[in-house]
Structure 1
């Protein structure tokens, strides 16, 4: 059984993913600002209330890993912040707010996990089709989609930097999934995939994808958006 860190577990894909790993007997560290009662009650899930936009709050994760786990088999960077706003109205503060979660949060959590990662560990970053160069883009998502492009490049760089240690870094660029975040961006749109269905795909990829991939970006999308 493996030790898995998952961010953004208060709802949607992250919530379903935490439950699936726990049901299979893995140990999960669930990170989110709000903690669902169902996760707190699960014996295989440890929950920490963490705001990823604040680097100082990640000390909670360092303390937990040093005292409870000592090793991390996989990290799933699932948390994301979304802003739907015309570019001409998007301020630097808006960009910073999105990047603090979607980019800096990923970088900071990865850095503090490095001492606990080992040969065979897998770091999976959940990006978006909006972050893929040449993909269909949507108005109002300049901050969000550009941040998702940034973590793609970050993951590619980390894969190269840590390949000698046997730590794999990969990205899943997701298309539309029926989540609250999707409804915030595209009100009324019905995506063909449920959060639970996508979580199952990510579950399998987290456990096995590093056998086949490192430094890769896989597009997981059957529709637009």
Structure 2
């Protein structure tokens, strides 16, 4: 993961965003004292790639923005190419100015796993994600993607052989009372993932209170995704 800073940083977006409209993403950047631009140049800090890629991306056939960004990076530019997932995690970690607080906390769980195509119980995983949403009133956003882009552009899985592998990612967000034990909820989710045949990944989580009002409102615009 790339740690993203927003203060006085410039952002450009390319590809289709799966979770936010581009105007929303640009507004969230401004709310954190950053700004957006339309062109790729040496002044740019971050090029954010949407999770809905163009057809050629999985074969390394990138568009002009990505090609230009890779050239600048090759010249030791400050520019970083980041995924939509990393951008969204940046929004979680850094509260907007006047983000507001609510009388509860958000528990944000992220789970990532590589798996061999055909070996994962997809139906069981989808059923579990739907169960999490329904029984815990949590917001769930999950996806399965080919890992090539993550290896080629984001330097993930740099030492791994990814042929015939797929990449599962999931974010679960739940509102809890301030006094509630977050670890109990996290452990329950972890055990659920452990029960899925063919799934063995990495779980991380955090509690969030600062800026919770803003992020809770943002979640209302993000589609629920439990189907893979």
- The alignment's TM-score, normalised by the length of structure 2, stands at 0.33
**Larger RCO, structures 1/2 (Cα 8 Å, 6+ apart):** 2
Structure with higher Rg: it is: 2
- The alignment's TM-score, normalised by the length of structure 1, stands at 0.33
Report which of the two has the higher share of strand.
Answer: 2
